[in-house]
Amino acid sequence: MGRFFAFFWGMVVGASLLYGAMTYHVVNTSDGLQVVPKSPPCLQGAYTDIRGFGVEDWTRHRALAMALIKAGKGELMGDAAASPLRDTLEGWLEAFHGES
């Protein structure tokens, strides 16, 4: 019986971790770890270290950038060089969701 319970709890923990990875972005910033909800659930971008991100990095991680802005944590995107991308993403959010 002991092996069954170990297997069962392993399945429960594994399923919980998979659900968390599909539902949230874990973002490592200079201020520590931040958890941001994903808009379409997927495994891509479960953990991202954004310390030192530049404009090119943000263009490759648009889903993360949109999730940060939607969660009200756009200031984590950092320097002023990212502001044109931030403005574009905010415009997309307003167009598709009617939110700012």
Report how many domains make up the chain: 1
Q: How many CB atoms lie within 10 A of CB 26?
A: 15
Q: How far apart are the C-alpha atoms of 76 and 58, rounded to whole Å?
A: 11
Q: How many CB atoms lie within 10 A of CB 46?
A: 16
- pTM, rounded to two decimals: 0.69
Which residue range(s) make up the domain with 19?
2-97
Residue type, 38: K
Q: What are the C-alpha distances in Å from 89 to residues 17, 41, 48, 50, 70?
A: 29, 19, 19, 17, 9
Q: How far apart are the C-alpha atoms of 37 and 99, rounded to whole Å?
A: 16
Q: What pLDDT, in 10s, does the model give residues 3-45?
A: 999 999 999 999 999 999 999 999 998 889 999 999 888 888 8
